[in-house]
Structures are given as C-alpha cells and as structure tokens.
A = this chain, B = another copy of it.
Amino acid sequence: MATIYQVAELAGVSLATVSRVMNGNVKVSEKSRAKVQSAMKELGYQPNIIAQSLASNRTNRVGVLVSELSGPFFSYMLAVVESALREEGKHAIITAGHSDVAKEQEGIEFLLGCRCDALILHIDAISDEYLLKLKERNVPFSLINHRIDEIADCCFTVDNEQGGYLAAKAVIDCGHTRIAYISGPEFKEDARMRLNGHKRALAEAGLTFDEALHYRGNYNEDGGKEGFDQLSEQRFSALVCANDEMATGAMYSARKHGLDLPHDLSIVGYDDQVFARYTYPTLTTIKNPIAEMGSMAAKWVLKEVYNINTTETIHNTFEPKLIIRNSIEENT
C-alpha cells in the first residue's frame, strides 16, 4: 500500500502538497496538482483513512442507533441513511438499542467509543434528560421519531396525531359510525398521538368516542386478537388499530367469530408494513414517510457536522399518508 510519502517523492513535491491536493482546501498550483495526481494514479494510492482520522480528528463515521436492526421499519430507514451518508463518503456504524434504557445507553456509548463524528438516534426508552446532557457534551446527533422541544431543530418526527386522524377519517368517509379502536401502549408517545388524532376525527364528524369501543393493546398481534375478542360483545362496523400487527390479529379473531371480511367489518391498520399487502383482505393502513425522515436526519448531520449543504431545506415534521386497500368497505 502506497503512502503519501511515496506519492510526494514520485511527484517531486513535499507531502504537505500532496495532502493539500487531496483535501482541496488550500490552493495548489496547477503544475503541482497535475504531478501529484498522476503520481497518485501511478501508485494506485489510496489514503489511509485511519491516519487521516487521527490527524484531523475527524472520523467520517456516523453512528446509527435503531431499536432493532431487523424489522421492516428500521431496515428501510437504515438503507436510506446509509446511502445518503455513503454518497458523501461517510461510514455508517450501526447498532441496536432493543427498546431498553440500559441497552440504548450502552449502544450510544459504543458509538461514541467508535469516535463517531455524529449520531443518528431512534430511541424508545432513554430519557430526554439523558439526551439533553448528551447535547451539552457537544455530541452532535439527530433524533428520529422523537421530539424534544429544547432541541427541536435536530428532531425528525412524523405527525402521528394526523395519522390517527387519517385512519379514522378513512372509515368515517365510508359511512361508518360505530367505530372501535385498539390503541397502542400508552407509554409510547406515538400511540398516544394516534389515539388523539382518532378522537379528533370522530369529534369532527360529530361522533362521540365510546370507551366501551376502546381496547388498550400492546402493538403485538396477540393484542389485536384479544382486543377483538373483548370488543366483540359490542356492536361496530369498523375497527381502527394503532398498528398493522394488531390489525392482522384482529382479522384473525374476527374471522374466528364468523365475520366475513371486509363485508362485515372494515379494518384499518397503521405503518404500512410489508405484510399489509399480503393479508387477506389486503390492509388499508397509514404509511409513515420513513425514507424521507431517515434521509432528512442524515442530511441534517451532513449539513451541521460536515458543512455539506444540500439544496433541499431541512424540515422536521413529516406527514403520514393513507394507503387504501381492500380491508375497508362502504357501510351498508
């Protein structure tokens, strides 16, 4: 592996000049530049990025922490983030936090230990105070799917309230009036917001939110099954679930109770997971702009930390979108 010395020697210049040609931040005469570039080519020179990192105190690494590496949501986001970073020659170091305070903190410490220049975090469990303290430590990071008012400019979130609204609106627009709801765990911010949006849609349509038609689920398929079982004592023609897993669970139970889907019951999910296109009937759901969020979080880092400006302006909240499939029908 050729070093900068050999390039300098072959080009007949000092290694400082070679370095300047590489980095392009200081002027170098055309003549020297040409000599250096041809020497680099001749030697097949590739800079040692480790040495560069040590000397410049820049690693060009960005740490990415997500709840899980597997799972459609995060893997899709990772894909977007990685390619945005790679485009600018930055390396993504990824790790998982598993929705657990200790593991998330450990993950962050791990990434910091890797001397990442910046972090992109999707956290579930860590407290705001911890994150604010991290900011104070001058660790640049952007936050996905979680908003802290004090540092709102680096938070990239989806309007879950609006998503909840759209999901309810979808069945309201089909003429449904008795609408059940299976919500997510209340400790999750997104679950609370989705429920709020749901209530807003009902109110707007002049419908009252009936606690008897509300089941508090856990975001898992089982929660959907149990939710339907409990709710089945009530009468309703539409069921909105706070995520797709619970929606499929509810479908399962509904069918077990002898319902013909979607004729006897309209169902709406949330997240537009890959499998939503494969359920029977295919699931009407709400799609989060994951790609946009991930890409924006990456761009924020590129801009703030590396001073790489995009033409695109940074914005922080993203709108969810209704995806209509076959699981809802006009109320008859």
Chain B residues with CB under 8 Å of A48's CB are 54, 115
Asked whether A83 is an interface residue with its Cβ less than 8 Å from the other chain, the reply is yes
Give the interface size bracket for A toward B: 35 or more
Shortest distance between the CB of A52 and any CB in chain B (Å)? 9
State A110–B49 Cα separation when bound (angstroms).
Answer: 11
Asked whether A91 is an interface residue with its Cβ less than 8 Å from the other chain, the reply is yes
- The residue that A94 contacts in the complex, of B46, B68, B92, B275, with Cβ under 8 A, is B92
- The residue that A248 contacts in the complex, of B78, B83, B94, B278, with Cβ under 8 A, is B278
State A95–B53 Cα separation when bound (angstroms).
Answer: 21
- Complex interface residues of chain A between 208 and 251 (CB less than 8 A to chain B): 248, 251
| Contact code string A80-114 (vs B, CB < 8 Å = 1, else 0) | 00110010000111111000000000000010011
Asked whether A70 is an interface residue with its Cβ less than 8 Å from the other chain, the reply is yes
The answer to whether A46 and B78 have CB atoms under 8 Å apart is: no
Tell me how many chains of this kind the complex includes.
2
State A91–B59 Cα separation when bound (angstroms).
Answer: 14
Shortest distance between the CB of A226 and any CB in chain B (Å)? 17
Chain B residues with CB under 8 Å of A275's CB are 274-275, 277-279
- Complex interface residues of chain A between 244 and 291 (CB less than 8 A to chain B): 248, 251, 255, 274-275, 277-280
With A50-B50, A50-B59, A59-B50 given, is the CB distance from A96 to B79 under 8 Å? Answer: yes
With A79-B69, A79-B96, A96-B83 given, is the CB distance from A50 to B115 under 8 Å? Answer: yes
Asked whether A317 is an interface residue with its Cβ less than 8 Å from the other chain, the reply is no
Asked whether A26 is an interface residue with its Cβ less than 8 Å from the other chain, the reply is no
The answer to whether A95 and B115 have CB atoms under 8 Å apart is: no
The answer to whether B49 and A54 have CB atoms under 8 Å apart is: no
User: Which 5 pairs from chain A and chain B are nearest by CB?
Assistant: A75-B75, A275-B275, A280-B280, A69-B79, A275-B278
